[in-house]
Amino acid sequence: MKSIRYTSSPLLASKTPMWRSKFVVAALALAFIGLTARAAYVQVFDNAFFQRQGDRRVLRTLELPASRGRIFDRNGLLLASSVLAPSIWAIPEEVKADDADLRKLAKLLGMPLKDLQHKLGEDDRSFVWLKRLVDQPVAQQIADMKIPGIHQRKEYKRKYPEGEAAAHVVGFTDVENKGIEGAERSFDKLLAGREGSRRVIKDRLGHAVEEVGEEVPPVDGKDIHLSIDSKIQFFAYQKLRDAVIANKAKTGSVVVLDTATGEVLALANYPSYVPDDRRNLSGPQLRNIAITDTFEPGSVMKPITVATALELGRVTPQTVIQTGPGSYQLDKFTVRDTHNYGALTVEGVIQKSSNIGALKIAQRLSAKEMWDVYTSLGYGRKPDLTFPGAATGRLRPWKSWKPIEQSTMAYGYGLSASLFQMAHSYSAFAHDGVVIPATLLRSPDGQPVQGVKVFSEKTARAVRKMLQMAAGPGGTGQRAQTVGYSVGGKSGTARKQQGKGYAAGKYRAWFAGMAPIEQPRVIVAVMVDEPSAGTFYGGAVAAPVFSEVVQQTLRVMGVAPDMAVKPEIVTEQVQESF
């Protein structure tokens, strides 16, 4: 085979024109200069813009969720806690699954197949939530399927072991773990903690391949201990529920206060709801009626009117008030008692719940004197209680009171208050004339707290005696009596307002009192709205709930009985004025 002589090729042997060589060299030089200029522009002159663009494509900030703090009752019993509940999300453009996998995934997520397909077909092809906060076993089954493009995020879901009994106190959170109702909302900043974060570089498949910078660890929320006693709370809710159902009423509420510390031991409403399952929840179920709703308190105000007159020296417990013939003309209005009680002592006015007696005592007081006492007891002011939606109530300035308004306020008409405000105001009688602040948080070591002195100790003791008479033989609250403990309290029956007047046949039944009567440890207030099973008086509807709650509460607190024998069973039913 002959060797090839390339130099003998006419093509290679021909001379190349000089301009062609210069053109190629110039083109290479210009290309190099262009690349150098571009590199300088990208890396020096507009570095920040291109750095941001690069970071947007590969850098991701991953949130590290904080665990929400737990809620305990006063004895350390769990009321709310967080459990791991991953959320399922997807990158639709990366999802690769056959029909069988999609059907299985839809079943695990608890949604129709067409809804899952719709989510995966949305316009945003880079991110879509499939379901938030699924149970851990379900999340594990989804992870085991290993479907490309289906991801999970670590999140937490709240659990409420006490269910509907403590729902209005504890409240609940939303899907983002933010407090929406109750203590969850009131103490959200303490419970929430602070989320952490870490910066990572992700590849095109979304996998983290490298960490960038320092990780910011999450700070878990703090635990809180409420003043609520779960045993008392459950029992109060149970007895309230039974009373509402038995009396065919609309709603009911009960409040239990510790007279020494101002702690709320129980706060229950019926109907209630299950915080873990709010699918069919209605607005009325959510309302914490004991705190958010206000009503005319009726006869529950009579002891306050009497206490004011006693404190100012306008009457004594034995001052005689003429209430006959059972009706009293006041301007264009006629005020009536249920019976013609004739001449009553001030003690008898409270025992028999005389409207006429209360208004005649109020006539010995000025409007300002009554207003000062009412406001000192918390009426017309928003409670200091750390709780969402606490109502202020209505108490007009004393300068605008008309004589008839001053008279009707003496027996609980013309002003409004919540059940909690009424219960709290009675702490002045239970605490020897001092109104102490109320709290939903457990007091350190149960230490007594400082309050505002409204009445003298003598006045408070005198009123307690009257309350004992009202709850005893011949009084309107005889069914408030309990085994082993002396009690005192005042029943109330108020017509329901409707428009500018009052609804026919619609009432609210109340009872507020304390026990043991000589050295009260608890205040209990009960309200039943629109009882319609035949009786509507507070002494017949609300007083029995008071009796049962007081007895159970004092036993749980370890208070020794102050009565050696079971009180006499009274069969006579006394109707109260309203």
For tokens 């004589």, the residue is 403
Residue 346 CB-density burial (10 A; 0-12 exposed, 13-18 middle, 19+ buried): buried
Residue 294 and residue 416 in contact, taking contact as beta carbons nearer than 8 Å:
yes
299 is catalytic: yes
Burial 549-560 (b: 16+ CB within 10 A, else e): bbbbbbebeebe
Burial 140-150 (b: 16+ CB within 10 A, else e): eebeeeebebb
Nearest to 530 by CA among 293, 249, 246: 249
Residue 307 and residue 459 in contact, taking contact as beta carbons nearer than 8 Å:
yes
DSSP tag of 227: S
Q: Are strands 71-72 and 224-225 parallel, antiparallel or unpaired?
A: parallel
Cα(459)–Cα(240) distance, integer angstroms: 32
3-class DSSP state of 512:
strand
Q: Which two tokens stand for residue 474?
A: 């011949």
Q: Are strands 78-84 and 488-498 parallel, antiparallel or unpaired?
A: unpaired
Among candidate residues 186, 227, 299, 491, the one labeled active-site is: 299
Residue 509 and residue 528 in contact, taking contact as beta carbons nearer than 8 Å:
yes
Residues in the chain: 578
Alpha-carbon dihedral 307, 312, 314, 317, rounded to 10 degrees: 40
Cα(542)–Cα(514) distance, integer angstroms: 14
Residue 122 and residue 92 in contact, taking contact as beta carbons nearer than 8 Å:
yes
Cα(463)–Cα(88) distance, integer angstroms: 63
Please state the separation of Cα 184 from the chain's center in Å.
7
Cα(41)–Cα(35) distance, integer angstroms: 10
Cα(412)–Cα(299) distance, integer angstroms: 6
Cα(6)–Cα(114) distance, integer angstroms: 73
Look up residue 71 and give its amino acid.
I
Catalytic residues: 299
